[in-house]
Amino acid sequence: MDVTPTVVEITIDHLSIEGFGSVDRAVIRRSLQRDLAHIIQEHGIPGVWTSGQAPAEVRTSLEWDGRGGAQGLSAALAAQLYEGMTR
């Protein structure tokens, strides 16, 4: 029986942000939480999570063109993390 959770808690133990100049990490932290929640609401909870096969760790990297400042970086990072969680 497939059970779809109504609450999802994601813990990010370590987030390394290097090479992006002087971005406001506090803004990234807040924006990342909001952006990731929005993506999950829009696209749903990844199937591997509902099947009990969620990865213990997601590693990803991204190229970012600098547009949108810290909030733009957060949106790009959230998209990459979601993609990584669906593999």
pLDDT-derived band at 3, boundaries 50, 70, 90: low
Q: What is the C-alpha separation between 87 and 19, in angstroms, rounded?
A: 26
Whole-prediction pTM = 0.72
Q: How far apart are CA 79 and CA 21, in angstroms?
A: 20
Among the listed residues 15, 29, 31, the one whose alpha carbon sits nearest the alpha carbon of residue 72: 31
Q: What is the DSSP string of 16-38?
A: ---SS-S--HHHHHHHHHHHHHH
Q: Hey, where are the domains in the chain?
A: 25-85
28-54, pLDDT tens digit by residue? 888 888 898 899 889 888 776 766 666
With CA atoms as reference, report the closest residue to 39 among 87, 81, 67, 70: 81
Taking 80 as the threshold, does the pLDDT of residue 80 lie above it? yes
What is the DSSP code (8-state) at residue 50? H
